[in-house]
Each structure stands twice: as C-alpha cells, then as structure tokens.
Structure 1
Amino acid sequence: MTGSLVSGASNFRDVGGLPAGDGTTRSGVLFRSGNLVQVDDTGIADLRALGIRRIIDLRDEAELANDPSRLDDLPVEVQHEPLFLGSVASFFERDVSLEELYSSIVDDSADRVVAVVRGILTAQPVLVHCTVGKDRTGVTIGVALAAAGVDREAVIADYARTEQLLPVARTERVRAAIRALHPDNVHADELATRSPARAMRALLDRLDREFGSPAGYLRAHGMTDAELERLREVLVA
C-alpha cells in the first residue's frame, strides 16, 4: 500500500493487504481518499484504470456545491451519504474532541453508516471519501474493516496513516487559519489535521462495549448476518 494512487487526489489509497485472521484484505476492491475536486487529467485516467464502479461521497450538500468532484465521463455510480449533522464550523466552535466527533457519527448517523457499508457491497471496486479522508471516511472504513474481521491493530494503523499522507502545505495552512479563528481551542488542531491511533481505538472499544463488536453495531442498526458474511467475502481473501 503506497501513497496516493490518483493524481490530484490526496490521501487516496487501497486498503488491500491488511491482515484479517488467516486472510488479508483484497487489493483493488475498496479505496479511500479525500475529495476529488483537484483531480487532473492524469487522475481521471488513474480512476479509469482502477475500474472504480461506485463512489460513496460522505460530504454534505454545501460541500458538494462548493467543491464538486471532477469525474468527467467516468462510468461510476455516486452514492451520497452525508455524515455530519451540523456544519464543520460548529465542531470548532464547540471545541469537540475527535472521540466526541466519532461518537456523534456512530450515534446520530447509524443508518448512514450502515448505508455506506451496504454501498460497499453493492458494487466494487468502490471508493469511499469525504473532504480530507480522515474522519467520516476513517470512521466508516474502520467500522467496515473491523466488521469484516480485519485485525484490530491493522484497522487502527490504517486510520492513523492518514496524518502522514495529508499534504504538508494544506496542514500548515489549516493550522494557521484555526489558530487565527480559535486561539483558545484545545482540540481544534487535532480535529483538523491529525489521526491519532488513540481515537480509532477508543471508537472500536466503545462499539465492543455497547454492541459486542463493530459487526454487532451494524447488526443492531439493520444489517443482516448474511450481509455481514458477504462483507467478509467481498473484502477478505
């Protein structure tokens, strides 16, 4: 698993090759990334070569309007599943932690988390993305991988990789803007620029406590045992 696979798209990567018990996740099946706004001609060719059939976009309507994806004539189905309830700005205004943000996603948008996982089952190769590919993407991909039986530490490590894959210039620009707007915030820098293993571990541990497992969380919100078995068949070889 290397860096970005698509020119102009940050944090674009394949989640293949992760250990899952006696197996590993399949390559070329499930991808994750930040937005597709700055995809260039080479990036369009990259997406075509990957054979992406379905794109699950986790951004809200305002984000879609302000930063539309560049897909040209690619033969893809786009599924929109906005995961944030409230504006991104509101999270900084309330100075929420990553743990609080992730809890709000699984609590308040459980039906959409399930819809994302079902979207992964609908057609492959499939890309899941949000704006940066860190939080909304991190939560849904983390839950899907864990529910498919991927080793817990591998799920956490895949989430944590994002911090190293975000463009340095973008990170510094965002940090400067945050310091100017919210100089006294405790969590703002981490919320915008970091993906610490601690945050994903806390989320998965919480799903264990409350639902028995990440698969139990999906089951409690409508997924069937057959769908969960199919998820493992799709993602793990």
Structure 2
Amino acid sequence: MRDLEWDGCSNVRDLGGLGRMRPGAIVRMEAPTLLTASGWSAAWAYGIRTILDLRHVDERDPDQVPRSAGIAVVRVPQDPARDTAFYKHWSRLDNLASPLYFPALLAEYPQVIVAAARAIANAAPGGVVIHCASGKDRTGLLSLALLALAGAEPQEIIADYLRTFDRMKPRWDELGIRDQLTAVTEILTAHGTTVEASLTSTIESLAMPDFLLANGLRPDELDALRARLLTT
C-alpha cells in the first residue's frame, strides 16, 4: 500500500511501485506543517532526509511542532512569480488549481520542473518529500513528470493524481471547502475536457528524459536522478 500514515497529515503516499519508481525515493504530501511529533518521527523512520517545498515564500505557515533535526528543506517554487502575465492569466482561468494549466507551464516555464529535478538529484542520501499546499497540483505536476521519467503508465499517473481528492476530502470538509473534485471537474468541463483527458494529453506530450535535457538538466544530473529514483 502506497498510502502512508503520518500523524497530522492525510495526503501522504509513496510514488514507489509506479513504473520503475523505487519505493522510498519520493513521497508526495500536503504541506507538513500539521505533522505531530509522532508524524515527524514516522517520516524520519521512513528514511526521509530532504523536503522539497514547492510553494511561494508567502504561503509558508509555521510548523505545529519542530521538524526532525537532520531533515533538510529545499525551496523550489513551482509557480511563476505572481506578477507575471502567466500567473495572472491562469489565476483567472483556473486559479492554477486544475490540470488545465499543466501544458502551458511545461511549455513556458520548464525551468521550474528542471530546478526541482536537479534538487532531487543533488539531495542528501535518503528519501525526498515533495509538497505544496494540499499536495494536488504543483505536487501533482512534478509527480507526473517524475513518474513519466520512471515509465509509469498514463492510467497509473492519473489514478495517483485523483487519489489526492479522496485523501484530502476529510481535511477540506473540516475547513468548509467545497468538494474539490467537483470544482476541478467544472473547470475542465467548461473548457471541453476532463481530468483524465487533460492529464493524458499532458503525459503523452511530455517526452522524458528529453524534456529535462532540453531545458538545462545536465547529463550527469540526469544520471544521478535516475540512480536515485529508478529500480534496475
């Protein structure tokens, strides 16, 4: 079972087992700020030694309890700056909260994905957590890219993206946030597509590892990334 139980957070899961992704290499989750002491202990016991925070700096809330000493935090925002035309356009269209914006970001800002891939390749030995706020879209797009590199099937990647809606629903309900799968479906329907079709189109257009190499990842960094993530 890829779902992990780390006290304080609900949307924690290992990408291992999808394609050739190695178990323990990449864990995706929502922001870990609500992890309890036992939650952090569980992360440490699982082998996590690096956290990639994919959010803008002004989104970062204080942790409920101190993080485990020895877990490094690397900040790699996955959204363009908020004063860019891209951010303003997509904030109006889908609030950067659906797969609709994924192809545009990959085309216009590939460097954010490459920066995250480089950070993973260069991380200290141990598992790497990737997270944004709810672990849905920024984390979802980076997960999609990493899983494409690992040769995961489109249906595996789509199922992993959709899993967040189930895992986060109790938290969203607690906060009084409307059903997010319904919200995302409405956005995509208004643009003549579906979650599945939108993600499939993105996956099929993303040639890996060519995308990474064409956008600045060095061959030695790609080798390090593959060695870290992939089973033989």
Encode CA deviations 1:75-124: one digit per residue, 9 max, x unaligned. Answer: 11111111223399985543467343212432343212111111222233
Instruction: Count matched residues.
Output: 217
Q: Does residue 1:110 correspond to 2:110, yes or no?
A: yes
SS at match of 1:42: helix
Map of 1:7 onto structure 2? 7
- Correspondences of 1:33-182 after superposition (within 5 Å): 33-64=29-60, 67-69=61-63, 70-85=65-80, 86=82, 91=90, 93-95=92-94, 98-123=98-123, 124-171=126-173, 173-175=176-178
Residue identity over aligned pairs, in percent, reads: 29
Q: In the superposition, relative to structure 1, how do residues 37 and 222 fare at CA in structure 2: closer, same or farther (>3 Å)? A: same
Checking the alignment, whether the CA contact within 8 Å between 2:121 and 2:222 is kept in structure 1 is: no
Map of 2:224 onto structure 1? 230
SS at match of 2:32: coil
Shift of 1:8: 0.8
Checking the alignment, whether the CA contact within 8 Å between 1:51 and 1:125 is kept in structure 2 is: yes
Checking the alignment, whether the CA contact within 8 Å between 1:148 and 1:228 is kept in structure 2 is: no
SS at match of 1:53: strand
Shift of 1:60: 0.5
Structure 1, unaligned runs of 5 or more: 208-212
Q: In the superposition, relative to structure 1, how do residues 188 and 43 fare at CA in structure 2: closer, same or farther (>3 Å)? A: farther
Q: RMSD of aligned C-alpha atoms? A: 3.2
Map of 1:201 onto structure 2? 200
Deviation larger for 67-76 or 134-143: 67-76
Encode CA deviations 1:156-185: one digit per residue, 9 max, x unaligned. Answer: 3222222221133515822289x9xx9xx9
Deviation larger for 33-42 or 117-126: 117-126
SS at match of 2:5: coil
TM-score, scaled to structure 2? 0.79
Letter of the 2:98 partner, please give it. L
Checking the alignment, whether the CA contact within 8 Å between 1:34 and 1:133 is kept in structure 2 is: yes
Structure 2, unaligned runs of 5 or more: none
Letter of the 1:163 partner, please give it. F
Shift of 1:224: 2.9
Encode CA deviations 1:28-65: one digit per residue, 9 max, x unaligned. Answer: 1211100012111211211221221111000101101x
Q: In the superposition, relative to structure 1, how do residues 146 and 74 fare at CA in structure 2: closer, same or farther (>3 Å)? A: same
Letter of the 1:77 partner, please give it. A
Checking the alignment, whether the CA contact within 8 Å between 2:48 and 2:71 is kept in structure 1 is: yes
